[in-house]
Amino acid sequence: MKIVSSRLKRSFYSFKTLFLIRCWFVGYYRYLELLLWRIFGRVSSPPLLYKKFVIENYAKIYCTKVLVETGTYYGDMVEALRNKFEKIYSVELDSDLYSKARWRFSTDPRTHLVKGDSGGLLSDVVSELEEPCIFWLDAHYSGGVTTRGATDSPIMKELEQISKSNFKNVVLIDDARHFGIFPSYPSVDDLKNFASEYVKFSKFFVKDDIIRILP
């Protein structure tokens, strides 16, 4: 019994060490990724650091202190932005990714991780909000360790729920290149028509693979 428990303890600590090494390595790798993306003509989807700057920039323009992310994954965007916001909510469907991220941010009172399908429970987060925020919609199935909900992308359901907000929020949707290409991703035009029914916005445009819906 003792041997089993000490083995379990050891594998738990080695999992933690590996996860920490991954987080540390990824943190530095991001700068190289951004540099390469800038040098080689922005042919691919922008790296995380670029997306972080986009979100940060809108937070400054609209004076928003709250970020709501869908699709936590390992929590790299939360990590990149947690010093820039007073509160960050992040929703993840996959139990394993959710518990890893919970452990990663367990000592940070600014981060609120939610486990579940953002297509269904984003409205719970929306009802908690007391001021305008930035929505970073990045929940979707993307192979590997990620999880698939009822559909590959819960985007339409997410927008429906965001429409219940009493505030003028900034809505940013990642991976614009998937829209109109993969099943369960509407075309950008359909998304715009749909959004105009649900969300009040003054600008809707796509730039650098991010769909931007601005109040």
Ligand X SMILES: C[S@@+](CC[C@H](N)C(=O)[O-])C[C@H]1O[C@@H](n2cnc3c(N)ncnc32)[C@H](O)[C@@H]1O
Task: Indicate the angle between helix axes 155-162 and 188-198, nearest 10 degrees.
Answer: 20
- Contact stretch for ligand X (CB under 6 A) within 5-13, 58-66, 135-143, 207-215: 135-143
Q: How far is the CB of 16 from ligand X (least distance, A)?
A: 19
- Contact stretch for ligand X (CB under 6 A) within 9-17, 22-30, 66-74, 202-210: 66-74
Q: How far is the CB of 6 from ligand X (least distance, A)?
A: 32
Q: How far is the CB of 142 from ligand X (least distance, A)?
A: 5
Q: How far is the CB of 205 from ligand X (least distance, A)?
A: 21
Q: Which one of residues 49, 101, 119, 179 is an interface residue with ligand X (CB under 6 A)? A: 119
Q: How far is the CB of 76 from ligand X (least distance, A)?
A: 4
**Residues between 145 and 174 that touch ligand X (CB under 6 A):** 146-147, 149, 154
Nearer residue to ligand X within complex by CB, 46 or 71: 71
Which amino acid is residue 156, in one-letter code? M
With contact defined as beta carbons under 8 Å apart, do 207 and 176 qualify? no
Which among 67, 97, 94 is positioned nearest to 81, based on CA atoms? 67
Q: What are the counts of helices (DSSP H) followed by strands (DSSP E) for the chain?
A: 7, 7
What is the pattern of x (binds ligand X, CB under 6 A) and - over residues 75-114? -xx-------------xxxx--x-----------------
Q: Which residue has the tokens 């029914």?
A: 197
Q: How far is CA 76 from CA 3, 80, 108, 130, in A?
A: 35, 6, 14, 25
Which among 113, 56, 114, 105 is positioned nearest to 85, based on CA atoms? 56
Q: How far is CA 54 from CA 81, 145, 155, 171, 180, in A?
A: 11, 26, 20, 12, 23
What is the pattern of x (binds ligand X, CB under 6 A) and - over residues 175-194? --------------------
Which among 98, 144, 146 is positioned nearest to 121, based on CA atoms? 98
Binding residues for ligand X, how many (CB under 6 A)?
A: 24
Say whether residue 48 binds ligand X (CB under 6 A): yes
Residues that bind ligand X (CB under 6 A): 48, 69-71, 73, 76-77, 91-94, 97, 117-119, 138-142, 146-147, 149, 154
